[in-house]
Amino acid sequence: MAAVRRWSEGMSSDNIKGLVLAISSSLFIGASFIVKKKGLKKAGASGVRAGVGGYSYLLEPLWWIGMITMVVGEIANFAAYAFAPAILVTPLGALSIIISAVLAHIILREKLHTFGILGCALCVVGSTTIVLHAPQERQIESVTEVWDLATEPGFLFYTALVLTAVFILIFHFVPQYGQTHIMVYIGVCSLVGSISVMSVKALGIALKLTFSGMNQLLYPQTWAFTLVVASCVITQMNYLNKALDTFNTAVVSPIYYVMFTSLTILASVIMFKDWDRQTPTQIITEMCGFITILSGTFLLHKTKDMVDGPSLTTSISMRSLKHEEEDGFDEGVPLKRQDTSRIP
């Protein structure tokens, strides 16, 4: 208790607000997946399933409750970036995976096996480690200060590298390898996503200051960040949808989470200089916490269809068969959906 008290006294009020918003976001988003799935099951029982092209779920109130819950979670996540550094907020997104797994076990009767419990525990330990050693939020009084940070040589160089890599991927690698190499689409999403989060944080700070009485909507920088957010989000969602449509979701999700979170932390460290206010011990501890979260996330996704006991081998075989039936895998390209299963 004494350690927790010292930690809470050491954290700024903004960090605490950001932490609460980030955890709330994970709760809402994690729960939304379960509510939407319940709605999809209920709609599929009386109409054409969404998996085969049906839209009866649009008339199902439970599905809309799930959608509203997800929107609330995304708004909370947006607000969290206005109060806390990205190095604290972004990794906590893994908590939504835990919430979803636990609620699926309780509500949907989807068995949470030993490896799943271990994955959840690793995510909790990693998240706690990051929260306990997260840097204090930088005090910013105007959106022009954020603009100054974004136009410093270090971040401009990072942005130039990102844009160069994105254009090379889109115009050279996507036409040739997009349908066969999972890292092409995810690479575009993750690179653009790191710039998107920095712009979201800048816009969130501008809105926070505006609501506190210091109108930032008069500055052109606020609208410039808004334009960047819109452009990045559209690009990000476009290529994420391509990845999900082409490859197995169970493979896309953990790879995307790892790349997106890693690049976002790197962008935040460069732009907001989060590590300048920390000791080497704190930085190393945060990295250990992040790696722990990645391990837990990977374990949850990699073994999510396994069951405990002697039937484990049978379960793995059934899981492979299930994926082949549901996703239309080609035996020669195990991570890619068959083109014949798509609607033109």
The answer to whether 228 and 267 have CB atoms below 8 angstroms apart is: no
Q: Give the separation between CA 161 and CA 155, rounded to whole angstroms.
A: 10
For the cut 50, the answer to whether the pLDDT of residue 341 exceeds it is no
What would the two tokens of residue 276 be?
A: 């300048």
**pLDDT value at residue 139:** 83
Neighbours of 240 (CB within 10 A): 20
Q: Please, what is the average pLDDT of the chain? A: 81
The answer to whether 306 and 316 have CB atoms below 8 angstroms apart is: yes
Q: What is Dmax (Cα atoms) for the chain?
A: 66
**pLDDT value at residue 198:** 95
**pLDDT value at residue 147:** 96
Q: Which of 76-90, 251-265, 291-305, 306-320 has the lowest mean pLDDT?
A: 306-320
Per-residue model confidence as pLDDT tens digits over 98-147: 888 888 888 877 777 788 888 888 888 988 898 888 888 778 889 999 99
**pLDDT value at residue 255:** 81
Average pLDDT (145-172) is 96
Per-residue model confidence as pLDDT tens digits over 20-43: 999 999 999 888 888 887 887 787
What would the two tokens of residue 22 be?
A: 């980030």
Q: Which of 122-131, 146-155, 279-288, 332-341 has the lowest mean pLDDT?
A: 332-341
What pTM did the predictor assign? 0.76
Instruction: Say whether 203 sits in a helix, a strand or coil.
Output: helix
Q: Give the separation between CA 341 and CA 328, rounded to whole angstroms.
A: 6
CA 14-19-24 angle, 5° bins:
125
**pLDDT value at residue 119:** 85
Q: Give the separation between CA 308 and CA 293, rounded to whole angstroms.
A: 23
What percentage of the chain exceeds 90 in pLDDT? 37
Neighbours of 167 (CB within 10 A): 11
Whole-Å CA distances, 93 to 78, 127, 167, 227:
12, 9, 28, 25
Q: Give the separation between CA 207 and CA 213, rounded to whole angstroms.
A: 10
Place of tokens 């136009």: 151
Q: Which of 234-243, 261-270, 306-315, 327-336 has the lowest mean pLDDT?
A: 327-336
Average pLDDT (261-266) is 91
Higher pLDDT, residue 171 or 41 = 171
